[in-house]
Amino acid sequence: MDSLNLILCAVAAAALDICILVLIITAYREKKSTKKNWHQVSSDMELAEQDKTYELGCDEVLIGRHASADIRLPDLSVSRYHAMLTVANGVWTIKDIGSKSGIFVNGELTREAVLHENDMIKLGNRRLLFRKRRDSRVR
């Protein structure tokens, strides 16, 4: 193989390398923008207790007594895996995932319910308010 061909092969390989690098950088930039977008679309809601607020940072939020739960409620009246909050098409839904004491939304026992702003959720002895995040409420 003569030197020109070798150079051409090396140039083609280098072009592909640079392209791969650029696409990886694009993927990292998209990570930032999708995170921002997610916060705008769905995370302007939060769960609030008397003195605590819990952010809803992903579309499936596990609530329970277990240490692995996204929202941990260390109370014996709450099951280890009590409820799952999910969002689809901008609608938040709460679902019972096999709890002992059930879920009450605005005083009604339910297995699954679509949540609206200012709904009161009762899990065991704990009461949580589903509301707009403080930042968006202030604005």
Partner 1 sequence: MYANPVAYVFSCIFVLIAHFAMLSNIWFNGNYTEVRDVAVLGAAVIILDIAYFAVILAFKQMSYALDFLLILIMGMSVIFQSCFGHVKLDVKHYITCIVCLAACKAGYMLCRDHKLLQDKKLYIYGAIGVMVLITLVFTSAENMWIEIGSFTLQPSEFIKPLFVLACATSIADQQKRHKILIFNVVYENIALFCIMAVICLVQVKSHDYGSLPTFLSIYAMGFLLRICYPKAKFSKKKLFGVIAVLVVFLLIGLKYAPDYVQHRLHVDIWSDKTGDGYQQSQALIGVANGGWFGVGPGKGFLANVFAYDNDIVFATVSEEWGLLYALMMVLVIIIITAVPLINPTRSYFHGSMSACVCAAFIVQMALNIFGSCNLIPFTGVTIPFISTGGSSLLVSGLMIGMLMAGQSPVFKEHKQKKQEDPEPAWRWKE
Binding site for partner 1 (CB under 8 A): 1, 4-6, 8-20, 22-31, 33-34, 36-38, 41-42, 58-60, 62, 66-69, 81, 84, 86-92, 97-98, 116
In the complex, the smallest distance separating the C-beta of residue 69 from partner 1, rounded to whole angstroms, is 8
In the complex, the smallest distance separating the C-beta of residue 47 from partner 1, rounded to whole angstroms, is 17
Which residue number, 2 or 51, has a Cβ lying nearer to partner 1? 2
CA-wise closest residue to 69 among 91, 90, 47, 51: 47
* Alpha-carbon gap, residue 108 to 10, rounded angstroms: 70
3-state secondary structure of 9: helix
CA-wise closest residue to 48 among 78, 64, 81, 71: 71
The token pair that represents 10 in the structure block: 């090396």
Which residue number, 17 or 49, has a Cβ lying nearer to partner 1? 17
In the complex, the smallest distance separating the C-beta of residue 125 from partner 1, rounded to whole angstroms, is 22
Q: Which amino acid is at 128?
A: L
In the complex, the smallest distance separating the C-beta of residue 111 from partner 1, rounded to whole angstroms, is 11
Which residue number, 22 or 120, has a Cβ lying nearer to partner 1? 22
Contact (Cβ atoms closer than 8 angstroms) between residue 118 and residue 105: no
Which residue number, 15 or 120, has a Cβ lying nearer to partner 1? 15
How many Å from the N-terminal Cα to the C-terminal Cα in the chain?
Answer: 68
